[in-house]
Structure 1
Amino acid sequence: MTAEAQEWALPDDCEAVRDALIAWYEDDHREFPWRRTDDPYAILVSEVMSQQTQLGRVVEAWEEFLEQWPTTAELAAADRAAVVGFWTDHSLGYNNRAKYLHEAAQQVETEYAGDFPDTPTELQELMGVGPYTANAVASFAFNDGDAVVDTNVKRVLYRFAEIHNADNPPYEEVANALMPDGQSRVWNNAIMELGGVACQKTPRCDEEECPWRKWCHAYQTGDFTAPDVPTQPSFEGSRRQFRGRIVRVLGEHDELALDDLGPRVRVDYAPDGKHGQEWLRDLVLDLADDGLVDVVDQNDGKTVVRLQR
């Protein structure tokens, strides 16, 4: 154990701590549909969708996505423009995540013969799947992951385990020490639920009957300090918003020249203005780098943009 890790200690009755959280979760928790499946594909879709979208809004999009493409085989065979268009229509964040999800489905079909990889290491070989998502899928689909540490879990651990004075709080070490062996599925769901419901930025310890009040450093001392939580930049007027509009417009046309695309993306478009060709070219080249569109400079001096399919 590292020197940093020695700055914290778990309660002596750690089994009681674990049992209390699992019992609290199993007694009453938010009913998200992906919690009722162990299908790794469905869970991966939920994890990717949840990266920038509130969980309540993800439910409808997740159900509609799986109704349209219920298996990796059907998603792999889909037109990528249709997948990206779905993402845009449901305001699910950066469109390249739709592209990566599509490519990941193709990898499962071509490289794994349709059988989903089941370890965090193998899952990270899928396009767009980083360590956090890989571990989440391994935990929730195969009950074989490490402790998941997201923003909510960090807040719980920071308050519970008295690691306030550590320069670099060892969240992963504390989380894995707490998690009972062989129970990553229920445990990770439970501790994330605790952070999302009871141990919010403004805590609701008594209102939500937090099961850890007996052991929690913050509850005992009244010091509910928590690590800074990054705020999501406003979507309105953002590059994300206009990237999404470009994809949506191009989904309705085979191709468009910049000056035909511009007014459809923003009403104040003017070729030589602040939001003109230079501004629009920067956005479409960004989308081209993500493999979402093709940008073609023609001999007549016009620049034409089309969705990659």
Structure 2
Amino acid sequence: MTDAADAGDDAAADAPPLPPDLDLDAIREALIAWYEADHRPFPWRETDDAYEIHVSEVMSQQTQLDRVVSAWEAFRDRWPTVDALAAADRSEVVAFWTDHSLGYNNRAKYLHEAANQVVDEYGGEYPESPAELAELMGVGPYTANAVASFAFNNGNAVVDTNVERVTYRAFDTPDDDSAFEQAARRLMPEGESRVWNNAIMELGGVACTKSPNCDEAGCPWREWCDAYQTGDFTAPDVTEQPSFEGSRRQFRGRIVRALSDGDAVAVDDLGHRIRVDYAPDGEHGREWLDGLLDDLADDGLVETEEADGERVARLR
């Protein structure tokens, strides 16, 4: 995007997403040099394989990156290519997801379906544009942009919570989705989405965290940063995840784990396996369990049927 186009965008906004006198060249050079000198060595940063990057992006959704590393490596060892994943049994992929505590199991289902799309519709080669990548199952705009950036250096500016926090603090960007997107687009140097998006997310991940480490991390933007100059390190609120312990998400995971051997299990037997206080007619009994099974069935993960006069469940 040209500076002229950026100026047009800025004029249309209620408030400019970036200060008008910002030295963009100096800011870009400083951040890239900081990132290239030292950054966290996550293994997916050492590859441009679109499949491996896609897996890392799905695993990283609302999961600590340090926890993702071992899961990503184990997943890659088990299904090293998109063709291998497409040929896998979906129940095995879902069971892997559950065993590694990677969050909602429907992500595993979507990842498996996307692999089949890549094989069936693209001959086993990932499409390169964000628009085409967004056609894959479970791939939203953010993930499509990330894969395009990190695999093909063909993405737009990534905007996540870290990027919002950085631009809000450093350049007093208004707390508005459109303003954050404009700021991120204008900051990114043309044709350098791979290094830039990695660098700005790294800045938010290690220096401009909720409790900032400006000096300790050697933040390269201190001389331009409004928060560093004023001492006001407020940032947009981040919605907290609901407690996992005792949640429906926790028990959905237990159901998938209990069914992971592929056998059909009677509903009441399943209830006792996943909850010590299960009682068919109790508060957390058959009606509660049926609701969880219905949710999993809607997600395409579980199926139920009547067998010998009782309801049984199995992984699809």
TM-score, normalized by length of structure 2?
0.94
Per-residue deviation, 1:168: 5.6
Residues 17 and 182, structure 2, Cα contact 8 Å, conserved in 1: no
Among 127, 134, 143, the alignment partner of 1:133 is 143
Q: Give, in angstroms, the shift of residue 169 of structure 1.
A: 5.9
Name the residue aligned to 1:230.
239
Where does residue 47 of structure 1 map in the other structure? 57
Q: Is the 8 A contact 1:4 1:170 kept in 2?
A: no
Is it true that 1:92 corresponds to 2:116 in the alignment?
no
1:104 partner SS: helix
For 1:241, the equivalent position in structure 2 comes to: 250
Residue 82 of structure 1: which of 85, 92, 100 is its match?
A: 92
Name 2:31's counterpart in structure 1.
Answer: 21
Q: Could you tell me whether the CA contact under 8 Å between 2:17 and 2:183 is conserved in 1?
A: no
Q: Distance in 1 between matches of 2:197 and 2:20?
A: 18
What is the Cα deviation at residue 261 of structure 1? 0.6
User: CA distance change for structure 1 residues 67 and 10 in 2, over 3 Å: closer, same or farther?
Assistant: farther
SS of alignment partner, residue 62 of structure 1: helix
The 2-side partners of 1:7 and 1:21 are apart by 19
Shift of 1:240: 1.2
Shift of 1:197: 0.4
Aligned to 2:5: none
Counterpart CA distance in 2 for 1:191 and 1:283 is 40
Q: Determine which of 116, 123, 127 is the counterpart of 2:126.
A: 116
Gaps of 5+ in 1: none
Q: How does 1:35-74 map to 2 (within 5 A)?
A: 35-74=45-84
Which of 170, 190, 193 is the equivalent residue of 2:199?
190
Shift of 1:10: 4.9
Unaligned runs of 5+ in 2: 1-8
Asked whether the equivalents of residues 163 and 169 of structure 1 are also in contact (C-alpha less than 8 Å), the reply is no
Q: Deviations over 1:143-188 (max 9, x none)?
A: 0111111101100000111124x66661010001000011000000
C-alpha contact 1:10 1:161 (8 A) present in aligned 2: no
Q: 1:32 to 1:177 in 2, by over 3 A?
A: same
Quick check: 1:280 aligned with 2:289? yes
Q: In 2 relative to 1, CA 5–44 (structure 1 residues): closer, same or farther, beyond 3 Å?
A: farther
2:227 is aligned to 218
1:28-80, Cα deviation, whole Å (9 max, x unpaired): 11110000000000000000000021000000000000000000110000011
Report the 3-state secondary structure (helix = DSSP H, G, I; strand = E; otherwise coil) of the residue aligned with 1:304.
Answer: strand
Q: CA deviation at 1:130?
A: 0.4
Q: One-letter code of the match for 1:187?
A: W
Contact 1:297 1:303 in 2 (8 A): yes
Mapped pair 1:303 → 2:311: yes
- Counterparts of 1:127 and 1:25 in 2: how far apart (Å)? 32
Distance 1:111 1:71 in 2: 16
- The structure 2 residue matched to 1:204, chosen from 203, 213, 216, is 213
1:113-153 Cα offsets, whole Å, 9 max, x none, are: 11111100000110000000000000000001111111011
Distance 2:58 2:47 in 1: 16
Match of residue 178, structure 1, among 180, 183, 187: 187
Residues 163 and 253 of structure 1: is their aligned pair in 2 closer, same or farther, counting only changes over 3 Å?
A: closer
Partner of 2:41: 31
Asked if the contact 1:293–1:305 (Cα under 8 Å) also holds between the matched residues in 2, the reply is yes
Relative to structure 1, the CA distance from residue 167 to residue 90 in structure 2 (aligned partners, 3 Å threshold; closer, same or farther) is closer
| Counterpart secondary structure, 1:6 | coil
* Residues in 2 aligned to 1:77 and 1:5: alpha-carbon distance in whole angstroms: 51
Task: After superposition, give the CA deviation of every residue in 1:229-272 in whole Å (9 maximum; x if it has no partner).
Answer: 11122222111111111011111251011111100011111000
Cα distance change of structure 1 residues 8 and 19 upon mapping to structure 2, 3 Å threshold: closer
Shift of 1:6: 2.8
2-structure distance, mates of 1:10, 1:208? 27
> Number of residues paired by the alignment?
306
Q: Tell me, in whole angstroms, the C-alpha distance in 2 between the residues paired with 1:24 and 1:4.
A: 33
Q: Aligned pair in 2 of structure 1 residues 116, 228: CA closer, same or farther (>3 Å)?
A: same
Task: Name the Cα RMSD after superposition.
Answer: 1.3
Given that residues 153 and 192 in structure 2 are in contact (C-alpha distance below 8 angstroms), is that contact kept between their aligned partners in structure 1? Answer: yes
Match of 1:146 in 2: 156
Deviation string for 1:1-50 (max 9, x for gaps)? 12235363254421011000000001111110000000000000000000
Q: What amino acid is the match of 2:315?
A: L
Alpha-carbon distance between aligned partners in 1 of 2:176 and 2:77, rounded to the nearest angstrom: 47
